[in-house]
Amino acid sequence: MARKPGSSPSAIKNRAARTAAALAPAGQAAAAAAPKAPKKPFNPVQFFREVRAETRKITWTTRKETWITSVMVFIMVIVASLFFLLVDWLLGAGANLLLKFAAG
């Protein structure tokens, strides 16, 4: 059975050290912090290779799926607009009725 990422003993120790440093008072946290590893230089060629690899993983919808989804959205817009039209009409009628009683 494969291990989950970050479940190795060294990863667990690193997480425990970071948690302890975050919970320690400010003066102790700065002294206990390990020096940071040097930052890797940015490689644009490698970046675009990775972007291309991730783009290949995308599953695009078919024309039929896009059409069905668009029709469903259109139907929901009509249903929602009819609902809000009805609610607006009822609240407006109620407000007019209340104002007639108040003026009368």
| Per-residue model confidence as pLDDT tens for the chain (104 residues) | 556 666 777 777 777 777 777 776 655 545 555 678 888 888 999 999 999 999 999 998 999 999 999 999 999 999 999 999 999 999 999 999 999 988 87
> Does residue 71 lie within any of the structural domains?
yes
CA distance 104 to 102: 6
Q: How many structural domains are present in the chain?
A: 2
Q: Report how far residue 15's alpha carbon sits from residue 56's, in angstroms, rounded to the nearest whole number.
A: 33
pLDDT at residue 61 in the model: 92
4 lies in some domain? no
Single pTM value for the model: 0.47
Same domain assignment for residues 54 and 68: no
Do residue 19 and residue 38 come from a single domain?
yes
pLDDT at residue number 28 = 56
CB 22 within 8 A of CB 29: yes
